[in-house]
Amino acid sequence: MDQKKQKQINEESIASIGLGKAYLIFDRRNQWTDWNGTTAITRRNWGFLLSLNDAEKWAESSRLQGTSFLIDDLPIICVRCKSGALLLSERNSARPMSWYSSIAPSLTGIRTIGALAAALAASKAKWGIQHLFEGLPTVNQTGGVYYSRESSPGKGRNHLAWSLKRQKIDDTQMRRIVADMQRLVSGVG
């Protein structure tokens, strides 16, 4: 996205805010760690996608012998304005954005995407994710249930098989942020 469009989105008023789900992708493979032939499983984060189908397709197209993939459900907050959206989350946390209550007072009066992004960045949240989108992304709704998927190779030309494991993620603070921001946007808070 060019800087002009980014500036425009950052200056626009927040129109709506909601909780959704994204899919964080990792790959794992056995990799040499030294010249003595020692190996270890390495895990690399490749980012996130907004569709489980897209995440599985990405893993399928990135297959190499000896590589497995993880796709973790990730609760996200989607803050929309007229011409874009800001996606917020915290990865690798059983209680994402649990630090929120410490910065809640500083959110009073925030009306734009840019002001919200700046306030949350100032919180120095560990593993924070902020992603600005041009246009309005389609975000899957969440019922508060999150899974981790691990691939196993299919035989021959088969597709990857996926095992499903429920994650213990408490999105209470993220729901509180959404509720607080909805009140601010509507002028009630």
pLDDT digits (tens, 9 = 90+) for 104-144: 766 777 888 888 877 777 665 554 677 787 888 888 888 88
Query: To which H or E segment does residue 87 belong?
Result: strand 84-90
Domain that holds residue 38: 3-138+145-186
> What is the model's pLDDT at position 87?
87
Residue with tokens 């690399």: 44
pLDDT category of residue 156 using cuts at 50, 70 and 90 = low
Q: How many other CB atoms sit within 10 Å of the CB of residue 156?
A: 5
- pLDDT tens readout for residues 47-106: 888 999 999 998 888 887 777 889 999 999 998 999 888 888 888 889 988 877 777 766
How buried is 76 (Cβ within 10 angstroms: 0-12 exposed, 13-18 middle, 19+ buried)? buried
pLDDT for res 23:
92
Structure confidence at residue 154 (pLDDT): 64
Number of domains in the chain: 1
Amino acid code (one letter) for 115: A
Backbone angles phi and psi of 3, in degrees to 5: -65, -35
Q: What token pair was written down for 20? A: 């959704």
> Counting beta carbons within 10 angstroms of the beta carbon of residue 149, is it exposed (0 to 12), middle (13 to 18) or buried (19 or more)?
buried
pLDDT at residue number 139:
86
CA atoms within 13 Å, Cβ hemisphere of 53? 2
Q: Are 130 and 90 a contacting pair, CB within 8 Å?
A: no
What is the distance between the alpha carbons of residues 19 and 127, in angstroms, rounded to a whole number?
18
H helix intervals, 3-155: 3-11, 52-61, 100-103, 113-122
